[in-house]
Amino acid sequence: MDTTPADPRRRVVLGLLAFGLLGATACSTPRTDPPPEPSEEPQATAEPVTVRITPEDGASDVRPDLPVVVEAEGGTLTEVQVVTAGLEGTGADEMTGSLNEDETEWTSDWTLVPGADITVTATAETDDGERTEVTHAFSTLAATPGQRLELQSNFPISGQTVGVGMPVIIDFDLPVQNKARVESAMEVLSDEPVRGAWNWFGDRTAVFRPEEYWQPNQNVSVNLRLAGVQASEGVYGIENHRLDFTVGRSQISTIDSDTKRMTVERDGEQVQDFPTSIGKADVERYTTTSGVHLTMEKYEDLVMDSSTVGVPVDDPEGYELEVQYAVRFSDSGEFTHAAPWNDRLGEANLSHGCPNLATDDARWFYENSYMGDPLVVTGTDRELEVDNGWGYWQRSWEDWLAQSGTGVADDTGEPGTPGSPHGESD
């Protein structure tokens, strides 16, 4: 690192010349004392600030999950810029960092793009305003084919409007072992701040859920800063992603097995009350699950086949029929749908597990449902499993937080995440 100080500044102090005039007599000779020698007091030269950047200049095959660290000695850091070649101006190379309290050390918040040329420029100043600028250039280790973590799917998708119960669901193409690091690379921000956390369902699916339902009518952003994260030994994320979705009005529906009614509340006020007929419950698979479900997907026309729940179509209990206005709320074959053949709506539970509705009622629910609307079923003796569909609200907040990789709640009103995506140095 070369630093070139500005010309040293000196303060010159001039001695005052004092002339004393003595009285002259006829027998004396006028005398003038010699003036004192001018004096010059040099001020100590101000030392320039020393700036150190890690990784070192010219380094190659730098692990992308290691942080960029900039330190200043003899001054404070005023600016740090990290640029990834080829991504300038795209927003994909934006790198924020955190300063320590005395502004002498900066650490990058996120990991680096694998197989990239990186330039770090840091500026620091002394108390007297003397600036030093240092630049390091280095390259990062490329991700190995077959060991590149990529996003396989996500719910919701950008631009979608969802219900207040909607989680963020991220599916990866490879198993993740360093779950806390990957969680810490996924930043969730919302207009109305909430506490939330990630949980894992297997090694490939991460789910973010707030402590309570989202506030309605707001925007949520998810920054998946996965490039450079070491998800497992030698496996690195290769690309960043961003999701932007909207939480719409609050709609919460309740189905009561005992009253055989389905009520719908919109923004706290009841707007519908439908007669229904749910699972006849003579065996478990024909028992509607109780608990907090979420609406998942919907079909105007759907062929329902008993073989999908383990009952052959040619079995005496088997069936294959086309239904209208079907809204899924679990992975065990449960849909609300029109059942014009059922003449006991509101009177008896006769279905194979699906809440049957009159055609007009089923159409209204189909047309007015967002993905992620809560649908609560009460009164049956079959509890919804947390991993049956999107049964994530079945897990208490205490257990949800305890099973997070970081174990710390994330405040969606503040940038950043509770943990660090960086790995440890070898």
Q: Report yes or no: 114 and 238 within 8 Å, Cβ to Cβ.
A: yes
354 catalytic? Reply is: yes
Sheet containing strand 335-338, strands side by side: 297-305, 320-328, 335-338, 356-357
The residue behind tokens 């101006």 is 89
**Please, which residues have CB within 8 angstroms of residue 267's CB and are 6 or more apart in sequence?**
216, 249, 250, 251
User: In which element (H, E) is residue 401 found?
Assistant: helix 397-402
b/e string for 296-329 if b means 16 or more Cβ within 10 A?
Answer: bebbeebebebeeeebeeeeeeeeeeebbbbbbb
Q: Report yes or no: 167 and 206 within 8 Å, Cβ to Cβ.
A: no
Q: Is the peptide bond before 156 cis (omega within 30 degrees of 0)?
A: yes
Gap between the Cα atoms of 122 and 77, Å rounded: 7
Catalytic residue among 136, 241, 337, 352: 337
Catalytic residue among 293, 352, 354, 422: 354
Gap between the Cα atoms of 406 and 384, Å rounded: 26
Q: Which residues are catalytic?
A: 337, 354
